[in-house]
Structures are given as C-alpha cells and as structure tokens.
C-alpha cells in the first residue's frame, strides 16, 4: 500500500459519493461559521470603538435576508451533521450504516430548512 504510485491529479480527484460530499459540506460549513463569527466579532468591535463605515456595512450585510438564507443553511447543516457524526462516534457499530445516516441527515435537514426559509421569505416580503 505504501508503494502505490498515484499522481497528484488522481489523488485529488473526487471519488467519494454521498459520504465524501457530506464530509466536504461539513468542513465548508464549519469554515463558514468560523468566518461569520470572526467577522461579526471584528465588526462589533470596530462599531463599538470607532463607529466605522466598514462595520456598518458588515452589519447591514448580516441583516439582509439573502445572507440569512446562507447563514441558516450553514449553521443548520453543520449542527445536524455534527449530531450525525457524534452518534456514529458514540455507537461505532452503526458505522456500517454511514450512507443511510447521511440520507437520514438530509431527510431531517430539508424540511426544517425549507420551513425556516419559507418563514424568512414570508417575513421579508411582508416588510418586517
């Protein structure tokens, strides 16, 4: 196994399917949360200390309903994915059901996300 010669392109090529896609989305959603929280702390600091226009722009961006749709996706997907990972870590015998647990994750995520986005858009169109 150590003598196997694989080119960089072959090693980086997507070969996974559902589990690898879930892994990538979980990591990207974690980075999204980290970026959001980091920018939020920095913008809050600059707003409080300097009242800067940059901080006002960031806060205005956070309040837009389009940004909130993305933020809700990132946070909700990461939370449900983290719960799935924690369950599989606590009960390793369920690891054979990895693909099924990913489908279950999506079956839980989609109705919650859909309802949340419906309420968010309904509220935005009502002018609230």
| pLDDT in 10s for each residue of the chain, 128 residues | 456 676 777 766 766 777 888 888 999 999 999 999 998 888 888 888 887 788 888 888 888 888 899 999 999 999 999 999 999 999 989 889 988 999 999 999 999 999 999 998 898 888 76
Total number of domains in the chain: 1
Q: What is the CATH number of the domain that holds 96?
A: 1.20.1300
Q: From its phi and psi, is residue 116 left (phi > 0), alpha (psi between -120 and 50) or beta?
A: alpha
Name the residue range of residue 37's domain. Answer: 16-125
Q: Record the pTM.
A: 0.79
Inside any domain, residue 9 = no
Query: Considering only CA atoms, which of 74, 3, 91, 2 is closest in space to residue 32?
Result: 74
CA distance 20 to 116: 26
Written as six digits, the tokens of 32 are 């999204």
Our measurement of the distance from residue 27's CA atom to the centroid of its chain's CA atoms, rounded to an integer in Å, reads 8
Q: Measured between alpha carbons, how far is 52 from 73 in angstroms, rounded to an integer?
A: 29
Is position 72 within any domain? yes
Which pLDDT score is estimated for 1?
Answer: 47
CB neighbours of residue 112 within 10 Å: 13
**Residue 115, in any domain of the structure:** yes
């Amino acid at each position: 196994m150590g003598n196997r010669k694989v080119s960089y392109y072959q090693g980086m090529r997507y070969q996974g399917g559902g589990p690898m896609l879930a892994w990538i989305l979980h990591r990207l959603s974690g980075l999204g949360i980290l970026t959001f929280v980091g920018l939020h702390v920095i913008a809050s600091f600059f707003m409080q200390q300097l009242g800067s226009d940059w901080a006002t722009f960031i806060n205005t961006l956070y309040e837009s309903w389009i940004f909130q749709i993305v933020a809700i996706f990132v946070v909700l997907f990461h939370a449900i994915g983290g719960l799935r990972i924690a369950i599989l870590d606590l009960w390793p015998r369920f690891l054979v059901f990895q693909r099924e647990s990913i489908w279950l994750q999506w079956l839980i995520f989609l109705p919650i996300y859909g309802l949340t986005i419906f309420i968010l858009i309904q509220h935005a169109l009502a002018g609230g």
